[in-house]
């Protein structure tokens, strides 16, 4: 059920505070946003997530480096036996902040939104791209695995080749191509969300570039053909979900404690509840009993939609799940 791949990820957004105010921010983060999760709560939730079968924690935000207890969060994840990843805009990285997470952080991914001019425009800050250079070198020299996350829009698939060259020059080992999501502050950017033609072009371009660079760089593109996605869903369908991690990955914890499946802001009909009010164990148990049937039926509808669309059509799986499941929980 769902589209579980090898890792079972809990994605935590401990704060909406950010040093930037990016045009495409799905969580509407900014320097003024004040809500954040208490560190004791985060420690408890990560411990519970590990016992529920989640083995990777991915920290996002807001800007994770603006969350003071970040080292404590990562230490709690490590103590629970999880691998740790973090997505940053890069500009809040300082030597002391990096030093505080070295040994606790397995992978640090920095977001880029295209070539320098496009990046600065999306970040609403002149010179933002130029100032990334020192920070990327700092990460590389710290020994933490560096990744880059490239936001795919309607207008920039031709820049993926540049992004690959930039990633190689920066010493990155992963380049993730993620489609723009029209939520949060990006709700007004619906015309910029890549359609099927751009998603297809991105998939083909990434396959070509992966072949060209070989094992120097892993290129991951967050779109899939309908046929490929149905195969992934069919593999997980064969198992009866015993725990929530068998059915939902990523599991998302938002800055106010709301816990939802799959992605930030996912339709509230499918929310588990709020981890600041109830334990994650209790929320997960209740979800498996009361919401899982509606989620499973939504996934069956999604499979039917994928079958209708045809095997070779390329889709953004999370956006399609949100659309198909939206407002349909019983």
Partner 1 sequence: MSARNKLRGSDLLAQRWTKQDLAKLIDIEHDGVNLVEFFPKGIPDPDGGWGTWHVKPDALLKFLGTLLKHDKIPGVWVFPKGIGPVDGFDVGFQAGSARER
Do 244 and 284 touch, CB atoms closer than 8 A?
Answer: yes
In 3-state terms, the chain is what percent helix, strand and coil (to 5)?
A: 45, 15, 35
Residue from 211, 214, 277, 327 in contact with partner 1 (CB under 8 A): 211
CA 5 to CA 55: how far, in whole Å? 12
Provide, rounded to whole angstroms, the least separation between the CB of residue 259 and partner 1.
35
Six-digit token string for 2: 């769902």
Footprint on residues 174-203 left by partner 1 (CB under 8 A)? 191-192, 194, 196-198, 200-201
C-beta separation of 213 from 261 below 8 A? no
One residue of 208, 281, 290, 301 binding partner 1 per CB under 8 A: 208
Note whether 232 binds partner 1 by CB under 8 A.
no
HSE, side-chain direction, 13 A CA sphere, residue 302: 30
The region that residue 136 occupies, defined by phi over 0 for left and psi between -120 and 50 for alpha, beta otherwise, is alpha
Please give the Cα distance from 111 to 146 (Å, whole number): 11
Regarding 151 and contact with partner 1 (CB under 8 A), the answer is no
Q: Which is nearer to partner 1, 194 or 261 (CB)?
A: 194
Residue 153 near partner 1 by CB under 8 A? yes
Question: By C-beta, is 314 or 319 nearer to partner 1?
Answer: 314
Q: Should residue 268 be labelled a site residue for partner 1 when binding is judged by CB under 8 A?
A: no
Residue 248 DSSP symbol: -
Token readout for 203 is: 């998939």
Least distance in angstroms from the C-beta of 159 to partner 1: 7
- Residue with Cβ nearer partner 1 (63 or 205): 205
313 belongs to the binding site for partner 1 (CB under 8 A): yes
The torsion of the CA quartet 273, 278, 284, 285, rounded to 10 degrees, works out to -120
Closest to partner 1 by CB, 194 vs 298, is: 194
Does residue 310 interact with partner 1 by CB under 8 A?
yes
- Among 99, 311, 323, 326, the residue binding partner 1 under the rule CB under 8 A is 311
Give residues in contact with partner 1 (CB under 8 A): 153-159, 191-192, 194, 196-198, 200-201, 204-205, 207-208, 211, 309-314
């Amino acid at each position: 059920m769902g589209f579980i791949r090898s890792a079972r990820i809990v994605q935590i957004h401990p704060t909406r505070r950010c040093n930037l105010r990016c045009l495409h921010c799905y969580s509407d983060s900014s320097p003024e946003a004040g809500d954040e999760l208490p560190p004791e709560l985060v420690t408890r939730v990560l411990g519970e997530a590990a016992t529920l079968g989640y083995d990777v924690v991915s920290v996002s935000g807001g800007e994770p480096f603006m969350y003071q207890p970040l080292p404590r969060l990562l230490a709690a994840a490590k103590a629970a036996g999880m691998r740790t990843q973090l997505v940053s805009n890069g500009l809040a990285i300082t030597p002391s902040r990096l030093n505080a997470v070295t040994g606790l952080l397995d992978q640090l991914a920095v977001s880029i939104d295209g070539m320098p001019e496009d990046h600065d425009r999306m970040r609403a800050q002149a010179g933002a791209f130029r100032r990334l250079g020192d920070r990327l070198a700092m990460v590389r020299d710290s020994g933490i695995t560096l990744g880059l996350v490239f936001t795919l829009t309607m207008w920039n698939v031709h820049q993926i080749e540049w992004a690959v060259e930039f990633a190689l020059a920066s010493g990155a080992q992963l380049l993730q191509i993620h489609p723009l999501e029209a939520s949060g502050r990006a709700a007004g950017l619906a015309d910029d969300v890549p359609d099927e033609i751009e998603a297809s072009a991105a998939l083909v371009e990434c396959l070509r570039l992966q072949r060209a660079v070989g094992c120097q760089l892993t290129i991951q593109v967050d779109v899939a053909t309908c046929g490929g996605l149905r195969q992934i869903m069919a593999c997980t369908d064969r198992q009866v979900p015993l725990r929530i991690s068998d059915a939902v990955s990523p599991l998302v914890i938002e800055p106010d404690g709301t816990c939802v499946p799959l992605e930030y802001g996912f339709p509230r009909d499918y929310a588990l509840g709020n981890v600041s009010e109830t334990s994650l164990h209790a929320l997960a148990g209740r979800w498996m009993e009361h919401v899982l049937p509606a989620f499973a039926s939504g996934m069956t509808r999604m499979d039917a939609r994928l079958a209708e669309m045809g095997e070779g059509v390329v889709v953004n799986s999370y956006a399609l799940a949100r659309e198909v499941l939206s407002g349909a929980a019983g």
